[in-house]
């Protein structure tokens, strides 16, 4: 049975999932890169980009789980790129080059229509203009029994949480504070939504918390 999951989502100790002022030069917002050393140092992350090296262990295990078992992905417009408003042309195809890491149908939430983009490695970006439920319906069909990952960004995860559509969440709390940016939990009552901690494990670089219901 298809589950909807958030996995490998890095959050600061003060609750921010991205820094402010996202741009082409700062795709994670200012300071946002400081949330992800736990991931970047892993063997899995290096393998994703065709490199050797990296560390094994707990962080590596969670990194692998964050991309395992998914048959489709959902991204917000900001997660796909810094372009705002109507698409000016067809040139922007995401942050990841010709071979994005998803290798599965990936549905991008947007207010502006755009034709699908087939990329190398099995990723096809589909642009959904009629809301989060429609995107989830399409992703669930495309996943063909595998899970659907809500890949971010912060507001996309928050929308699916508020709608009660997420079955499991894995947050990696990085030992940094951003002070400002995109807040993950403000105004969201996770216990009232039925979530409880089902798993937790700390490393030098992150504290991994899994929530289920």
Q: Report the mean per-residue pLDDT for the chain.
A: 96
Q: Which two tokens stand for residue 97?
A: 């080059």
How many angstroms separate the CA atoms of 157 and 53, rounded? 31
How many angstroms separate the CA atoms of 175 and 205, rounded? 7
Per-residue pLDDT tens digits for 132-150: 999 999 999 999 999 999 9
Q: Are 4 and 165 in contact (CB under 8 A)?
A: yes
- 7 pLDDT higher than 90: yes
- 2 pLDDT higher than 90: yes
Q: At 164, is the pLDDT very low, low, confident or very high (cuts 50, 70, 90)? A: very high
- 87 pLDDT higher than 90: yes
Q: How far apart are the first and last CA of the chain?
A: 16
Percent of the chain residues past pLDDT 90, beyond the cut: 92
CATH class held by domain 4-86+99-212: alpha beta
Domains of the chain by residue range: 4-86+99-212
- For residue 166, the model assigns a pLDDT of 98
Q: Are 165 and 132 in contact (CB under 8 A)?
A: yes
For the ranges 27-31, 60-64, 112-116, 196-200, which has the lowest average pLDDT? Answer: 27-31
Q: Are 70 and 8 in contact (CB under 8 A)?
A: no
| pTM flag (> 0.85) | yes
Label residues 8-45 b or e (16+ Cβ within 10 Å = b).
bbbbbeeebbbbeebeeebebbbbbebbbbbbebbbbb
* Local structure of 90: helix, strand or coil: coil
Arithmetic mean of pLDDT, 22-39: 93
Q: At 69, is the pLDDT very low, low, confident or very high (cuts 50, 70, 90)? A: very high
- 24 pLDDT higher than 90: no
Map tokens 């290798």 to a residue.
Answer: 103
* Local structure of 149: helix, strand or coil: strand
- For residue 204, the model assigns a pLDDT of 96
* Local structure of 31: helix, strand or coil: coil
Arithmetic mean of pLDDT, 33-44: 97
- For residue 182, the model assigns a pLDDT of 96
Phi, then psi, of 6 in degrees rounded to 5 = -110, 130
How many angstroms separate the CA atoms of 113 and 189, rounded? 33
* Local structure of 9: helix, strand or coil: strand
- 50 pLDDT higher than 90: no
- 172 pLDDT higher than 90: yes
- For residue 83, the model assigns a pLDDT of 87
- For residue 17, the model assigns a pLDDT of 97
List all residues 6 or more positions away from 3 whose beta carbon is below 8 Å from its beta carbon.
147, 148, 167, 168
């Amino acid at each position: 049975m298809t589950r909807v999951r958030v996995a490998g989502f890095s959050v600061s100790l003060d609750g921010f999932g991205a820094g402010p002022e996202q741009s082409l030069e700062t795709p994670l917002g200012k300071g946002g890169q400081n949330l992800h050393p736990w991931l970047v140092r892993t063997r899995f992350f290096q393998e994703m980009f065709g490199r050797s090296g990296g560390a094994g262990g707990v962080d590596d295990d969670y990194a692998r789980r964050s991309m395992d078992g998914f048959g489709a992905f959902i991204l917000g417009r900001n997660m796909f790129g810094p372009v705002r408003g109507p698409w000016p042309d067809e040139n922007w195809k995401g942050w990841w080059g010709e071979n994005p890491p998803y290798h599965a149908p990936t549905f991008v939430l947007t207010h502006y229509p755009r034709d699908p983009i087939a990329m190398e490695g099995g990723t096809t970006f589909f642009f959904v203009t009629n809301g989060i439920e429609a995107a989830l319906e399409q992703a669930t069909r495309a996943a063909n029994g595998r899970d659907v990952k809500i890949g971010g960004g912060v507001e996309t995860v928050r929308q699916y949480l508020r709608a009660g559509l997420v079955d499991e969440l894995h947050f990696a709390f990085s030992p940094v504070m951003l002070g400002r940016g995109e807040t993950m939990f403000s105004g969201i009552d996770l216990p009232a939504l039925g979530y409880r901690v089902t798993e937790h494990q700390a490393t030098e670089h992150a504290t991994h918390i899994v929530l289920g219901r």
